[in-house]
């Protein structure tokens, strides 16, 4: 049995947490996040830490407790430090640049691809072939990075496409004569 739900979530000094019933709002230097938790958990804020307790000892309540604890930990980390995903673009002539509120990419198509940047996420083109997606909400940062990657997935023969910085692509052998 996992004991991750029993660990309290430490709240840094620059983060404020407001608990009203099952609704939790967290504010920090990188923004504010809100979440409504399941009715099977109880929350308590004391001594600079959030504790999550199951209302009963059913299997579902214990699972929801651990999930709720991790969601709260991600919210606290997001508003204090933030989350970041790095994407690499590989291919001849493939490049990306931020133009206003759009991410403009040349990905080997006959046209350039424009991706509107959501207001709650920041995208930087550190190099023409490296993108950085960052924000306070872990799920939102991962979703935006996945949507950008889906525009041109890495192919297994030459490795061209958009991939995560730590992703390894299984390469295949081409045709033989």
CATH architecture for residues 83-164:
Alpha-Beta Complex (3.90)
Inter-residue contact 84 to 132 (CB < 8 Å): yes
Compute how many other C-beta atoms are within 10 angstroms of the C-beta atom of residue 23. 12
Q: What is the pLDDT of residues 58-103, one digit of tens each?
A: 888 888 998 999 999 999 999 999 999 999 999 899 999 999 899 9
Q: Where are the domains positioned within the chain?
A: 4-80, 83-164
User: In 10 A of CB 40, how many CB atoms?
Assistant: 17
Query: Cβ(125)–Cβ(69) under 8 Å?
Result: no
Average pLDDT over the chain, rounded to an integer: 91
More confident residue, 6 or 134: 134
pLDDT in tens, 10-30: 999 989 999 998 899 999 999
4-80, what's its fold?
A: Outer Surface Protein A; domain 3 (3.90.930)
What is the three-class DSSP state of 170? coil
Asked whether 134 and 141 are in contact (CB, 8 A), the reply is yes
């Amino acid at each position: 049995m996992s004991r991750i739900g029993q660990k309290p979530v430490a709240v840094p000094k620059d983060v404020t947490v407001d608990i009203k019933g099952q609704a939790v709002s967290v504010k920090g230097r990188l923004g504010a996040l809100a979440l409504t938790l399941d009715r099977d958990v109880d929350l308590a804020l004391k001594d600079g830490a959030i504790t999550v307790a199951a209302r009963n000892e059913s299997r579902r309540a214990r699972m929801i407790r651990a999930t709720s604890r991790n969601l709260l930990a991600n919210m606290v980390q997001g508003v204090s430090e933030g989350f970041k995903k790095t994407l690499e673009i590989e291919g001849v002539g493939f490049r990306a640049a931020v133009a206003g509120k759009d991410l403009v990419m040349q990905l080997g198509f006959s046209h350039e691809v424009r991706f509107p940047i959501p207001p709650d996420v920041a995208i930087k083109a550190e190099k023409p072939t490296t993108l950085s997606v960052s924000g306070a909400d872990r799920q939102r940062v991962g979703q935006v990075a996945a949507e950008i990657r889906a525009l041109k997935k890495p192919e297994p023969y030459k490795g061209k496409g958009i991939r995560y910085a730590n992703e390894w692509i299984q390469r295949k052998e081409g045709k033989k004569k």
